[in-house]
Copies of this chain bind each other. A is one copy, B any other.
Amino acid sequence: MARALRLAVAGVGNNISGLLQGAYWYRGLQARGETELPGVRQNAIGGVGVGDIDFVCAFDADPRKIGQDLTDAVLAEPNNYPRLDVELPQQGAIVQLGLVNGGEVTVEDVTKALVDSDAEVLLYSLPTGLQWEAEQYAQAALGAGVAFVNCTPEVVARNPEILAAYEKANVPMVGDDLASHMGSSMVHRSLLSLFAERGVTMSSSYQLNFGGNEDFRNLRENGASKQKSKLNALAQKGIALDAVEIIPSAGYISHLKDNKVAVINIEGLGWAGTPVSLDLKLKVQDSSNAAGVIIDLIRVAAAWRRLGEAGFPIAAASCLKSPAVPHDALTTFAIDEALSMLNERVAAAADRS
């Protein structure tokens, strides 16, 4: 097994709570000799297991988190990811005030903190909509030679100038916008594909999402860009997107806490125009749905860096909604092969050393 991944995080929300608690949860399973790990796509990537993460550095802007050990910070309000049944030691990483538009912390401060903590990857996971912060953190990681992972829809890896700068500096850049582990886009897309493939004409479809974390409160007002992005995620041959309506946040339902519910309907016309009707309810732990994909993104980023590679690794593309190399230039086969090659190269390097 390779050495643990040294991770820095910008943003200490539910996703990080899920990632951190989950890492300990899987370590617990493995300590008890379990070999089947539920909810995991890849037991190891680049030799790094799902529990092999060291959280070495953390930034946030919320006074309830700054100055706290990361373990205490992920459990502080307004986070409401469930408290898993695992022991959580202190991490030794204290949450620092991060970059805020108009604030006093500078890109150089962040670069220095990344270098001092010997981080390999910076995971960017602030609330949606902070384009300035996303770019500044990317600048800081670049300065430190630390791989950057962008979980948000902000345009970073898709910005050719930023990507070129990373390639030139020999630093990996992974983004943009994570594709949830089992998200409503994923399920909706898969069913619409099936309709197209079978020749059942989709006549109308809707998808409504609701939940009880801060995202659903924000998206209820500011869902326009998300709606566009979710529609794009469904785009494919044979599907008339103008018959599909998506509501990113149908409502903030506080008692659902960090759970998300999606309601999907597809109406179709089969042989001789006779009706086909499909109704679906999907319920997931929202931040687990992110963490289950983040774990792969950060491991690909770290492996890419350890191999001395730069820029965007296409092995990460199946975990992204808007990868630097767009989906229509890729195939599932190509992505899977890229991941296999990455693993083989890491293994070969390990054998040599």
Contact = CB atoms under 8 A, between A and B. Distances in A.
Interface of A: 18, 21-22, 25-26, 38-42, 82, 84, 181-182, 186-187, 190-191, 193-195, 198-201, 203-204, 206, 208, 210, 243, 245, 247, 250-251, 253-256, 263, 268-285, 288-289, 291-292, 295
Contact of A270 (B39, B254, B263, B277): B39
A21 B272 contact: yes
Contact of A272 (B18, B195, B256, B283): B18
Contacts of A38: 201, 203, 269, 273
B263 A22 contact: no
Given A39-B274, A186-B198, A247 B251 contact: yes
A128 B66 CA distance: 47
Given A275-B284, A277-B282, 16 more contacts: A18-B274, A38-B201, A39-B199, A39-B269, A40-B271, A82-B274, A182-B198, A190-B190, A190-B191, A190-B194, A208-B208, A270-B284, A271-B291, A272-B288, A277-B284, A279-B280
Contacts of A181: 198-200, 270-271
11 contacts: A18-B272, A41-B199, A199-B292, A210-B250, A245-B251, A275-B284, A276-B284, A277-B281, A278-B281, A279-B279, A280-B280
A197 to B, nearest CB: 8
A193 B277 CA distance: 21
A340 to B, nearest CB: 15
A140 to B, nearest CB: 28
Copies per complex?
A: 4
A94 to B, nearest CB: 24
A182 B270 contact: yes
A272 B26 contact: yes
Contact of A253 (B193, B194, B245, B289): B245
Contacts of A195: 182
B289 A208 contact: no
Task: Give 6 nearest A-B pairs by CB, closest first.
Answer: A41-B199, A271-B292, A22-B272, A250-B250, A247-B251, A274-B285
Contacts of A40: 199, 271
A28 to B, nearest CB: 10
A41 to B, nearest CB: 3
Contacts of A193: 190
Contacts of A82: 274
A247 B245 contact: no
A254 B245 contact: yes
Contact of A250 (B201, B208, B278): B208
Nearest to A319: B198
Given A200-B181, A263-B263, A284-B276, A251 B253 contact: no
A296 to B, nearest CB: 9
A101 to B, nearest CB: 29
Contacts of A210: 206, 208, 247, 250
Contact of A198 (B22, B41, B203, B282): B41
A203 to B, nearest CB: 8
A276 B251 CA distance: 20
Contacts of A84: 272
A295 B193 CA distance: 21
